[in-house]
A and B are shown apart, each in its own frame.
Chain A
Amino acid sequence: MKTIDQTTDEILDLAATHFKFPRAELTPSDDFYKKLAIDSLQALELLTRLENHFGVELPDYEVQGVSDFHTLATRIQARL
């Protein structure tokens, strides 16, 4: 069973790859909208990536009201 830190790490890896952003510059408390310069629909693209990676279904509302990687990780962790 993954720890929350592992989950968070993997999310940062996937976000960096998907949006072609330097991995070293991403931290768990970053606001992903601001840091990656993405909008809410692009955040949903990331959600799809995370679904495929973690093997869980993540309805759109899981990203509602969430703007930092750490909170996103806790939402995903709850479904693992």
Chain B
Amino acid sequence: MAILMLDLTKYDSVGAALSDALGRWPDEVCLIEADREKEKSRITYKQFGEAAEPIAAALEELNFAVGDRAAIIMTNQPKWLISAYAVFFAGGVLVPLDYKLSAAEHLQLLAHSKAQILFIEYPLWRAITQSPAFVEHKLKTVLVSEAPPNADLAGAQHWEEFRGARAPEFKLRTRKDTACIVYSSGTGGHPRGCVLTHDNYLEQCAAVTPVFPFWPGARYLSIIPTNHAIDFMGGFLMPFTGGGTVVHLRTLRPEFIREAFTKYKITYMAVVPLILKNLQRGLREKFAALPPGKRKMLDALISLNRALTRGTPRPALSRVLLKDIHKAFGGGLQALLVGGAFTEPATIEFFHDIGIPIYNGYGCTEACTAITLNDLRPFRPGTVGKPVRGMEIRIAQPDADGIGEVAVRSKTVMSEYLDDPEMTAETIVNGWLMTGDLGRLDATGHLQLFGRKKNMIVTAEGKNIYPEDIENNFEGIAVKEFCVFAANYIWPQHTMTGEQLVLVLHPEPGQAVNDALVKELSRRNSQLLNYKRVAGYVVWEQDFTRNAAMKIRRPILAGQIGKQLERSAMVPL
């Protein structure tokens, strides 16, 4: 079967490529919305265009200008993509935000991005309007979806009624124009808005689709939030450029994911390590519940499958050998993609051994989506793969083991951090994106990761947490000074797992860290979302090294602490 995807070299913008897709495959199913075990809706590419263009027309009537910014905060659903396409049609810049952030964080990022338009789901808007910071928002127009008919929308309009009368004009953009501003971390002191151009996205899509092609009938199950680079690419741009179908599920509950797999015969799904581990846990529980005879048989079949698929995946063979397991994955799965955070090799091995084609990769929002991908030929669990097409990698300042900072150069690298020339200059140096991750290229050109140079952690859900952003939460505690670090920044370990945050306390002279202080620290800590909490604290008796502007010189302080205190000095909170 010939796979005829769009030739992305022909397009100057994401909107132009998407527009052509709508015309190329008008009658193919574009989006399916699943609501738990029920199918809520399905639309064709033609219907997608008919849904989006009146919204673009409404934007035009509002005098939404080319380059104006529109944000989206919605769970995974067709309205997300429809709204996004309408923004691209109208020549706008999309600001996709993570629906899981708090209302205060949403307001902070909306302000930072200077978005004038917001597309949002009712429960999320309600939370925002109840936030103390709501009164300061500068949004001009807010479109709220699925609001009850009599709800007080606090000045917003119903998304369902936001439609223009005239046929809208498609606004041309060039490759160097900004397509999206994507925040690579939450909030706190320093939002990091990656400015990504149409060129970044088109180049990234063209580099990855040869590895994961789409065709009419190919189905991607979309569960990772669509603001995340992985789902924006895998659950929007890539399927559209091949006439494929995106199946949306708003829930991450394993029982509904399992149902969707079989009901919609899913071809691809992208997950973050947390979801993968959850799937693994579920499978392990099933295996453990088997009677001993059947268990022995299963283990033997898994060993056989492992032996026969080391050199290359053999999905047809694996489906025969391990029929029941593969039935649970729908029987049509071509690839389970895992990224967003580091996945332990043992977890990847587990899935590979049972013949589930698990592809892990490495990337960051600053490089659009993917830097490296594993191709399973052969299976290399200890690496995150080879550079994708068009990606150059070098290891900066390698040590005796060849380990150094991973630097990347490619057309997919962002143009800058929004309104932050200083951070941009620190991150993109002489045309190379300094990732802040430590790695080494093995003899076959595959990348192995060995920890982080940057002072940050990434959760198993793929969220980047910058320690300085957590410090606000501890303001005013009764010590002389304090700060937060990634524990691995103070005590480097050549590992990407078990990342934690540590609070460094410098008490007043003669002050002991007493019960009252610890209680207050615990209280402040519990106010944070669980994945942002510090794991513990260490006591540091010296003044923090600061520069002339009184900013903490973090690399120096971390070095001092690492030399004088062991990791075991950390007291759990």
Contact with A along B243-266 (1 / 0, CB 8 A): 000000011111100000000000
Q: Are A34 and B530 in contact (CB under 8 A)?
A: yes
Collect the chain A residues with CB atoms within 8 Å of residue B278's CB: 39, 41-42
Tell me if A3 counts as interface (CB < 8 A to partner B). no
Decide if B460 touches A59 in the complex (CB within 8 Å): no
Chain A positions 18 through 37: 1 when the CB is less than 8 Å from some CB of chain B, otherwise 0: 00000000000001011000
Indicate whether A64 sits within 8 Å of B253 (C-beta atoms), given known contacts A31-B526, A31-B530, A40-B461. Answer: no
Q: For this complex, into which size category does the number of interface residues on chain A fall?
A: 10 to 19
CB distance from A45 to the nearest CB of B (A): 7
Contacts of B567 in A (CB 8 A): none
B251 close to A41 (CB less than 8 A): no
What total count of A-B pairs have CB within 8 Å? 43
Q: Does the CB pair B255–A61 fall under 8 Å?
A: no
Return chain B residues, CB-CB under 8 Å to A77.
Answer: none
Residues of A within 8 A of B43 (CB): none
Asked whether, in the complex, the Cβ of A60 is within 8 Å of the Cβ of B251, the reply is yes
> In the assembly, what is the distance between CA of A69 and CA of B173, in Å?
50
A41 B274 Cβ-Cβ under 8 A: yes
Q: Which of B100, B251, B254 contacts A59 (CB 8 A)?
A: B251
In the complex, whether B559 has a CB less than 8 A from a CB of chain A is no
Task: Evaluate whether A40 and B255 lie within 8 angstroms (CB atoms) in the complex, with A31-B530, A64-B100 already known.
Answer: no
Q: Knowing A39-B460, A41-B275, A48-B255 touch, does A60 contact B250 (C-beta < 8 A)?
A: yes
Q: Mark B461-503, 1 if CB is under 8 A from A, else 0.
A: 1000000000000000000000000000000000000000000
User: Is B157 interfacial (CB-CB < 8 Å)?
Assistant: no
Cβ-neighbour of A61 out of B75, B275, B529, B530 (below 8 A): B75
User: Which of chain B's residues has its CB closest to A44's CB?
Assistant: B253
Find out whether the CB atom of A41 lies under 8 angstroms from the CB atom of B102.
no
Collect the chain B residues with CB atoms within 8 Å of residue A67's CB: 526, 529-530
**In the complex, how many angstroms separate the beta carbon of B76 from the nearest chain A beta carbon?**
11
Given known A67-B529, A67-B530, contact A61–B123 (CB-CB < 8 A): yes
A residues near B529, Cβ cutoff 8 Å: 65, 67
B75 to chain A, nearest CB (A): 7
Distance (whole angstroms) from the CB of A26 to the closest CB of chain B: 16
Kindly state the separation between the CA atoms of A45 and B369 in the bound complex, as whole angstroms: 30
Asked if A60 and B253 sit within 8 Å, CB to CB, the answer is: yes
Minimal beta-carbon separation of A20 from chain B (angstroms): 13
**B530 contacts across to A, CB distance below 8 A:** 31, 33-34, 40, 67
A61 neighbours in B (Cβ, 8 Å): 75, 99, 123-124
**Contacts A39-B274, A65-B102 given; 20 further ones with Cβ under 8 A?**
A31-B530, A39-B460, A40-B461, A40-B531, A41-B254, A41-B274, A41-B275, A41-B278, A44-B251, A44-B253, A45-B254, A59-B123, A59-B251, A60-B75, A60-B251, A60-B252, A61-B75, A61-B99, A61-B124, A64-B100
- List A residues at the B interface (Cβ < 8 Å): 31, 33-34, 39-42, 44-45, 47-48, 59-61, 64-65, 67
